[in-house]
Structure 1
Amino acid sequence: MELWASARRSKVIGVIVGLGYLVLLCTIGVESRKSSKRDCFEYEAISCRAHSASVSDFGGVGDGTTVNTQAFRAAIDHLSQFSSEGGSLLYVPPGRWLTGSFNLTSYFTLYLDKDAVLLGSQDESEYPLIEPLPSYGRGRDADGARFSSLIFGNNLTDVVITGANGTIDGQGELWWTKFRAGELNYTRPYLIEIMFSTSIQISNLTLINSPSWNVHPVYCSNVVVQGLTILAPVRSPNTDGINPDSCTNTRIQDCYIVSGDDCVAVKSGWDEYGIAFGMPTKRLVIRRLTCISPTSAVIALGSEMSGGIEDVRAEDITAINSESGVRIKTAVGRGGYVKDIYVRRMTLKTMKWVFWMTGNYGSHPDNNYDPSAIPMIQNINYRDVVAENVTMAARLEGIPGDPFTGICMSNVTIGLAQNPKKLQWNCSDVAGITSEVTPKPCDLLPDQGQGKIRACNYPEDNSPIENMEVQTCSSIRNRW
């Protein structure tokens, strides 16, 4: 948080001057030499900017067929000169803007108009190849390199990707087809990936048809993801919604996700590579999330969790027609830990499982993993859960000789489907307690009886990410 505060102090004079100019423009209006009219728009962001430009100022054409990759790159390169002068904003006007991968810069905002659609190119050459993540050792889809994401950033400070619910369309169907056919030599691009960065906001956008994961902050701190609508066909491969990965202080809120994979997948590296890199995901807040994912979890912890996952707080979660609520995925060889997980107020409708923990997930990057690297799963808390039309209450499978411990469930009511499983709780190698849970839990989670234990824990203190607030900013745009 000190870096965040220092960055804001260093910009305050420039921002005040820049915003004063914007207020003047918004108040009196301006006629340009080309007889365009300039007006202002407001948006919510962690930082306001003193300078702005439109991608059309750099030769961009929003006709859906012109490739604008160089226009975006040129615009951001030009605007990067203002990083020490109050920062800059790149405005994407109404239109359909076809582009390949481009890199962001620090103290920068990318803003999409409500009628702007950013179209991801389907040409592999428009996505530079980059090295595997050090905590993974290889690409997720294939050995070796991976395609850069459509919107990419590395070693940045203070970056905002936002809009008036403008759209980023990854045009992923061609990528999905190639992936299924084994025709890709490298890992598919994500829509948005930010690496080794701090003070990041991704908000108020619609993301559709990503080639793979949608939003991937990795090795980042102080991240806010809010107000996203993420849509993909429910059978599309690996179209995870939001994947915080080896990140500290992250807040995900007010998002609606329809996905072919997990809606939120919390990660921290894969087997021996994640253990060696040793960067956990911690202090994560997830709230007011709505998810539809018939084949995957609303919130998944893992399976790549070898750097550790701790202090995750999830509340006010709604799921419809999803495979499971909160799922822990791990295996022998992962190492690491998942601990201090707190979930409350889940409303689930039409689920295969409400609770699912898996200690035999498998899927290793190579054969060099350590079979003695046993993960630790402990202090997992669920309370105030209502579910209906459920096939099976819980499938809880720890690791033989290494049980998942400290599981607590309280005030849970599960209504069963018309043809439910005969066995509602399938438990092995787990330990914990329950209170006021229906249907009756397995013997490994003994019912303590009404009123005999407090509700399962949920921290009363604020997570540090709560100190990262958004403010109302103003900028200008041309109206021809």
Structure 2
Amino acid sequence: MRLRFFTLVCLCCCWFVSSEGETVSCSKIVPLGFRSGNISITEFGGVGDGRTLNTKAFREAIYRIQHLPRVGGTLLYVPPGVYLTEPFNLTSHMTLFLAAGAVIMATQDSSNWPLIAPLPSYGRGRELPGGRYMSFMHGNGVQDVVITGENGTIDGQGDVWWNKWRQGSLQFTRPNLVEFVNSKDIIISNVIFKNSPFWNIHPVYSSNVVIRFVTILAPRDSPNTDGIDPDSSSNVCIEDSYISTGDDLVAVKSGWDEYGIAYGLPSSNITIRRVSGSSPFAGIAVGSETSGGVENVLAEHINLYKMGIGIHIKTNSGRGGFIKNITVSHVYMEEARKGIRISGDVGGHPDDKFDPNALPLVKGVTIKNVWGVKVLQAGLIQGVKNSPFTDICLYDINLRGVTGPRNPPWKCSDVSGFAHQVSPWPCSELSSNQQGSCANYS
């Protein structure tokens, strides 16, 4: 029976900040329009019993969308049930719609998991030399793709991958849950992402990406299960989401050492708003892979609980690249090892070919309106020798916790900037009466 219903229609009302500082509505760059075609996975033999393998059904349904295009594209409906499947590719002008109670579940049999080439800005797999496993849902060179629904679930069943990683038995880098490469006009909303084998949502070399109203879950001890990692991508909006994983909740990246420098594609115009969550690592992170550069990032109205580090900007000698025009504001954190860390000695290298003299530029980082309780150490800002971090601006920050001889409130080196109404009072490097570019604060 042909499915009959209306496609979800809305405008994604989030924002990004342009390089000129102008706030721009994301609804102007990623409108979600009407799909003229509707098909159901059951029309292609999909069975949601949790046991039947549905790889053929998903691949045939997406083939139909790709080769019988309709004006406005086609919606693929997944009704309630548990649909076990191997990885599959997405195509342009499609909406993957998960009904309430629908679960798309990854098989745990890695023997049929496709291998793909490493990303050129990384030069190898992120974990191991050579290629990498394809993401569970993968889009390469696609546009106008929507993953949405009624809070259905995409389950990566990652525990088998985590155990192989712990045992050192993997030969290639683990798969992400969802990855878009060289793609544009992507919307991900109203879906639960669960137990990713590796990073959860990874837009790379992509533009005009909206991620909102998502829930991302993985155990605290699951290795490298980052929530959302915009990577060498532009015009990315992340908002109104809850993330609780084993690694950084949101991490902005742009390539790794000499490979990222050569590829030279920065991440820019990234907005993160109204995100909450918990992790043993960072809440809002930039890096550590930033060799293509990161600029124009705004993160605001963030709530963090039981964190390793609240706000972490991280790079290393050999990275090159730049980190500039970063603003983080209106952050609440409760129980954190460290409130703020801006560090130039974090992250390893892909191989021994990196240039140790490729020093990163970190300039123009503003952190303001931050309140923290049960914070063990307020902050650590450690620049790079011969490339100090400049224009580090701290305003209206109150981080309360345990301090003493073993836990000084702040540690700083190779940094200059300005502080105003910061408690506990930061290091002398940020106490200058010369505000410099920090005078733009309002």
If the length of structure 1 is used for normalisation, what is the TM-score? 0.85
Matched letter for residue 159 of structure 1 = V
Matched letter for residue 312 of structure 2 = R
Query: Which residue of the partner structure matches residue 327 of structure 2?
Result: 342
355-364 or 229-238, larger mean C-alpha shift: 355-364
Query: Which residue of the partner structure matches residue 134 of structure 2?
Result: 148
Given that residues 342 and 457 in structure 1 are in contact (C-alpha distance below 8 angstroms), is that contact kept between their aligned partners in structure 2? no
Deviation of residue 418 (structure 1)?
8.3
In 2, Cα distance between equivalents of 1:214 and 1:456: 36
2:336 aligned with 1:351, yes or no?
yes
The secondary structure found in structure 1 opposite 2:240 is strand
In 2, Cα distance between equivalents of 1:229 and 1:209: 11
2:238 aligned with 1:287, yes or no?
no
1:375–1:320 Cα change, 3 Å = same
2:296 aligned with 1:320, yes or no?
no
The secondary structure found in structure 2 opposite 1:240 is coil
Query: Which residue of the partner structure matches residue 262 of structure 1?
Result: 248
Query: Which residue of the partner structure matches residue 425 of structure 1?
Result: 410
1:50–1:233 Cα change, 3 Å = same
Deviation of residue 343 (structure 1)?
1.2
Query: Which residue of the partner structure matches residue 14 of structure 1?
Result: none
Given that residues 177 and 198 in structure 2 are in contact (C-alpha distance below 8 angstroms), is that contact kept between their aligned partners in structure 1? yes
Question: Aligned runs of 1:81-480 on 2, under 5 Å?
Answer: 81-83=67-69, 85-294=71-280, 296-417=281-402, 421-446=406-431, 448=433, 457=441
The secondary structure found in structure 2 opposite 1:275 is helix
Given that residues 410 and 456 in structure 1 are in contact (C-alpha distance below 8 angstroms), is that contact kept between their aligned partners in structure 2? no
In 1, Cα distance between equivalents of 2:438 and 2:344: 28
Given that residues 391 and 419 in structure 1 are in contact (C-alpha distance below 8 angstroms), is that contact kept between their aligned partners in structure 2? no
1:208-252, Cα deviation, whole Å (9 max, x unpaired): 110010000000010000011001000100000000000010100
1:273-303, Cα deviation, whole Å (9 max, x unpaired): 0000000000000000102012x11011111
1:274–1:248 Cα change, 3 Å = same
1:6-33, Cα deviation, whole Å (9 max, x unpaired): xxxxxxxxxxxxxxxxxxxxxxxxxx5x
1:291–1:447 Cα change, 3 Å = farther
% identical aligned pairs: 48
In 2, Cα distance between equivalents of 1:90 and 1:337: 41
Given that residues 211 and 239 in structure 2 are in contact (C-alpha distance below 8 angstroms), is that contact kept between their aligned partners in structure 1? yes
Query: Which residue of the partner structure matches residue 58 of structure 1?
Result: 44
In 2, Cα distance between equivalents of 1:306 and 1:102: 30
Deviation of residue 351 (structure 1)?
1.1
In 2, Cα distance between equivalents of 1:414 and 1:161: 38
Given that residues 7 and 75 in structure 2 are in contact (C-alpha distance below 8 angstroms), is that contact kept between their aligned partners in structure 1? no
Matched letter for residue 293 of structure 1 = S
1:438–1:400 Cα change, 3 Å = same
Matched letter for residue 103 of structure 1 = N
The secondary structure found in structure 2 opposite 1:427 is strand
Deviation of residue 310 (structure 1)?
0.2
1:455–1:349 Cα change, 3 Å = farther
Given that residues 267 and 302 in structure 1 are in contact (C-alpha distance below 8 angstroms), is that contact kept between their aligned partners in structure 2? yes
Matched letter for residue 337 of structure 2 = K
Unaligned runs of 5+ in 1: 1-31, 459-480
Given that residues 190 and 210 in structure 1 are in contact (C-alpha distance below 8 angstroms), is that contact kept between their aligned partners in structure 2? yes
In 1, Cα distance between equivalents of 2:93 and 2:414: 49
Deviation of residue 417 (structure 1)?
3.8
Given that residues 410 and 455 in structure 1 are in contact (C-alpha distance below 8 angstroms), is that contact kept between their aligned partners in structure 2? no
Deviation of residue 456 (structure 1)?
6.2
The structure, 1 or 2, with the larger RCO (C-alpha pairs under 8 Å, 6+ apart) is 1
1:391–1:114 Cα change, 3 Å = same
Deviation of residue 362 (structure 1)?
3.8
If the length of structure 2 is used for normalisation, what is the TM-score? 0.92
Larger Rg: 1
Given that residues 214 and 241 in structure 1 are in contact (C-alpha distance below 8 angstroms), is that contact kept between their aligned partners in structure 2? yes
Matched letter for residue 421 of structure 2 = E
Deviation of residue 119 (structure 1)?
0.6
In 1, Cα distance between equivalents of 2:328 and 2:433: 19
Deviation of residue 125 (structure 1)?
3.0
The secondary structure found in structure 1 opposite 2:430 is coil
320-329 or 192-201, larger mean C-alpha shift: 320-329
1:453–1:308 Cα change, 3 Å = closer
Matched letter for residue 300 of structure 2 = E
In 1, Cα distance between equivalents of 2:181 and 2:37: 25
Query: Which residue of the partner structure matches residue 26 of structure 2?
Result: none
Query: Which residue of the partner structure matches residue 72 of structure 1?
Result: 58
Deviation of residue 265 (structure 1)?
0.8
The secondary structure found in structure 2 opposite 1:381 is strand
Deviation of residue 126 (structure 1)?
3.3
Given that residues 377 and 403 in structure 2 are in contact (C-alpha distance below 8 angstroms), is that contact kept between their aligned partners in structure 1? no
In 2, Cα distance between equivalents of 1:266 and 1:317: 16
180-189 or 43-52, larger mean C-alpha shift: 43-52
Deviation of residue 82 (structure 1)?
4.3
Report the count of equivalent residues. 422
Deviation of residue 137 (structure 1)?
0.4
410-419 or 169-178, larger mean C-alpha shift: 410-419
In 2, Cα distance between equivalents of 1:419 and 1:350: 17
In 2, Cα distance between equivalents of 1:227 and 1:152: 21
Given that residues 33 and 72 in structure 2 are in contact (C-alpha distance below 8 angstroms), is that contact kept between their aligned partners in structure 1? no
The secondary structure found in structure 2 opposite 1:327 is strand
